[in-house]
């Protein structure tokens, strides 16, 4: 499903993103992955970058981390169709190891170059609340590094009256080994999502 259908400014932006050469990542990726959701969404989630599945599909959060994210949205009572979902970096960064493409973290230069696109998504959608999922999204939005722990739990005022909430990235949950630890971290994540939704309600 194309969740941007009918939203001309977002479609034009996605077309421009597809031609991006602002950093070298476009050379290796299959697709650019623009943000997706209603152009008047009040809540925007910003992830890190597309993964292997997203790169192939050209859509954000459709792989394992996306399924975890969708489950958390559902458990928090947030309809996915009402939120805008995007990434700090629009192309997949990876290292080829045999047949596998191993995820690599985008560096500060790549994050900063891609902020150009995120800023335009924010300008079009004009959300009331942005949720940064993980450290890369925080680095992009605040334009400086900061820890999740130092910002989590409370809204932070950005320009234009937007409130920023900060939480973990859903892929972190996939890496936690112990079942009890994973369940606790998941509950905390759902509570963060719920809190951000209440803020826009």
**Cβ at position 198, least distance to ligand URA in Å:** 24
d(CA 184, CA 51): 25
Selected binder of ligand URA within 7, 17, 36, 54 (CB under 6 A): 54
60-84: b (≥16 Cβ within 10 Å) or e: bbbbebbebbbebbeebebebeebb
Nearest position to ligand URA, beta carbon: 47
Question: With CB under 6 A as the contact rule, which of the stretches 42-50, 108-116, 119-127, 143-151 interacts with ligand URA?
Answer: 42-50
**Cβ at position 172, least distance to ligand URA in Å:** 10
Please classify residue 157 by burial: count the beta carbons closer than 10 Å to its beta carbon, then call 0-12 exposed, 13-18 middle and 19+ buried: exposed
If you search the block for the tokens 């590094």, which residue do you land on? Answer: 145
Question: With CB under 6 A as the contact rule, which of the stretches 16-24, 46-54, 178-186, 193-201 interacts with ligand URA?
Answer: 46-54
Q: How far is CA 93 from CA 24, 99, 140, 190, in A?
A: 10, 15, 16, 28
Interacting positions 156-175 with ligand URA (CB under 6 A): 171
For position 49 contacting ligand URA by CB under 6 A, the verdict is yes
Question: Which residues contact ligand URA (rule: CB under 6 A)?
Answer: 47-51, 54, 60-61, 63, 65-66, 87, 171
């Amino acid at each position: 499903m194309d969740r941007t259908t009918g939203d001309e400014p977002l479609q034009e932006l996605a077309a421009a993103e597809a031609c991006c050469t602002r950093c070298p990542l476009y050379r290796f990726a299959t697709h650019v992955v623009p943000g997706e959701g209603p152009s008047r969404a009040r809540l925007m989630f910003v992830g890190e970058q597309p993964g292997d599945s997203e790169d192939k599909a050209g859509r954000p959060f459709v792989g394992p981390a996306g399924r975890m994210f969708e489950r958390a949205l559902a458990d928090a009572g947030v309809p996915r169709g009402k939120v805008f979902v995007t990434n700090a970096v629009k192309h997949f960064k990876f290292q080829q190891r045999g047949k596998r493409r191993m995820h690599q973290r985008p560096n500060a230069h790549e994050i900063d170059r891609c902020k150009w696109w995120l800023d335009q998504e924010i300008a079009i959608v004009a959300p009331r609340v942005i949720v940064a999922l993980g450290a890369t999204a925080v680095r992009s939005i605040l334009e400086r590094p900061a820890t999740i722990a130092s910002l989590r739990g409370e809204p932070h005022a950005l320009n234009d009256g937007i409130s920023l909430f900060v939480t973990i990235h859903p892929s972190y949950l996939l890496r936690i080994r112990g079942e009890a630890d994973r369940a606790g971290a998941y509950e905390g994540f759902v509570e963060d999502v719920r809190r951000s939704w209440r803020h826009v309600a």
